[in-house]
Chains A and B, each alone.
Chain A
Amino acid sequence: MNSNLNITNSEYDQMISKNTKKSPIAKNIFFAFLIGGLICVLGQLIFNFSLKYVDKETASTITSISLIFLSAFLTAINLYSRLGKIAGAGSTIPITGFANSIVSPAIEFKSEGFILGLGSNMFKVAGPVLVYGITSSIILGIIYYFLKFIL
Chain B
Amino acid sequence: MKIGKQTFKLESMPYISYTSSIVGPKEVQGPLSSFFDTHINDVWDKEKTFEKCESKMLKTCISNLEKKANIKDDDIDIIFSGDLLNQCISSDFAIRNFNVPFLGLFGACSTFCEGLLLSSVMIESNLANTVICSASSHFCSAERQFRMPLEHGNQRSTTAQATVTGAGAALITKEKISSSNARITYVTPGKIQDLGVKDMANMGAAMAPAAFNTIAQHLTDTKRDIDYYDAIITGDLGEHGSKMLHDLFKLENIDISKKHIDCGCIIYDLKKQDVNCGGSGCGCIASVFSGYFFNELTAKNINKILLVATGALMSPISSGQGESIPSIAHAIAIENEV
Interface residues of A (CB under 8 A from B): 1-5, 7, 9, 12-13, 15-16, 19-23, 28, 75, 78, 80-85, 87-88, 91-92, 97, 100-101, 103-105, 107-109, 111, 124-125
A50→B157 CA distance, assembly (Å):
40
The answer to whether A78 and B151 have CB atoms under 8 Å apart is yes
**B161 interface residue (CB < 8 Å to A):** no
Q: Number of A-B pairs whose CB atoms are under 8 Å?
A: 111
The answer to whether B152 and A104 have CB atoms under 8 Å apart is yes
Given A1-B220, A2-B216, answer yes or no on A83-B153 (Cβ-Cβ < 8 Å).
yes
The answer to whether A111 and B49 have CB atoms under 8 Å apart is yes
B residues 281-338 in Cβ contact with A at 8 Å: none
Q: Output the least CB separation between B245 and chain A (Å).
A: 10
A82→B150 CA distance, assembly (Å):
10
The answer to whether A100 and B152 have CB atoms under 8 Å apart is yes
**B247 interface residue (CB < 8 Å to A):** yes
Q: Output the least CB separation between B235 and chain A (Å).
A: 19
The answer to whether B213 and A111 have CB atoms under 8 Å apart is no
A28→B202 CA distance, assembly (Å):
20
**B127 interface residue (CB < 8 Å to A):** no
**B14 interface residue (CB < 8 Å to A):** no
A101→B154 CA distance, assembly (Å):
10
The answer to whether A20 and B152 have CB atoms under 8 Å apart is no
The answer to whether B219 and A100 have CB atoms under 8 Å apart is no
**B252 interface residue (CB < 8 Å to A):** yes
Q: Please name 23 pairs of A and B residues whose Cβ atoms are closer than 8 Å in the assembled complex, sorted by A.
A: A1-B219, A2-B216, A3-B214, A5-B212, A7-B251, A9-B195, A12-B195, A12-B196, A12-B209, A15-B244, A15-B247, A16-B244, A19-B243, A20-B202, A21-B158, A28-B155, A83-B153, A85-B153, A104-B148, A104-B149, A104-B150, A104-B151, A111-B49
Partner of B248, one of A5, A20, A28, A103: A5
A109→B152 CA distance, assembly (Å):
13
Interface centre among B149, B243, B244, B248 (most CB of A within 10 A): B149
A148→B175 CA distance, assembly (Å):
88
Chain A residues within 8 Å of B216, by CB? 1-3
The answer to whether A19 and B151 have CB atoms under 8 Å apart is no
Interface code B215-235, partner A: CB below 8 Å = 1, 0 otherwise?
A: 011011000000000000000
B residues 31-53 in Cβ contact with A at 8 Å: 48-51
Chain B residues within 8 Å of A107, by CB? 149, 151
The answer to whether A80 and B151 have CB atoms under 8 Å apart is yes
Interface centre among A3, A22, A109 (most CB of B within 10 A): A3
Interface centre among B50, B148, B155, B159 (most CB of A within 10 A): B155
**B144 interface residue (CB < 8 Å to A):** yes
Interface centre among B152, B197, B217, B219 (most CB of A within 10 A): B152
A1→B216 CA distance, assembly (Å):
7
Given A84-B153, A100-B151, A103-B151, answer yes or no on A1-B252 (Cβ-Cβ < 8 Å).
yes
Q: Output the least CB separation between B229 and chain A (Å).
A: 14
**B26 interface residue (CB < 8 Å to A):** no
Q: Please give me the residue from chain B that is nearest to A82 by CB atom.
A: B153
**B240 interface residue (CB < 8 Å to A):** yes
Chain B residues within 8 Å of A109, by CB? 144, 149
Partner of B153, one of A5, A100, A108: A100
Q: Output the least CB separation between B311 and chain A (Å).
A: 18
A108→B49 CA distance, assembly (Å):
10
A19→B250 CA distance, assembly (Å):
14
Chain A residues within 8 Å of B154, by CB? 81, 84-85, 88, 92
The answer to whether B152 and A101 have CB atoms under 8 Å apart is yes
B residues 143-170 in Cβ contact with A at 8 Å: 144, 148-155, 157-159
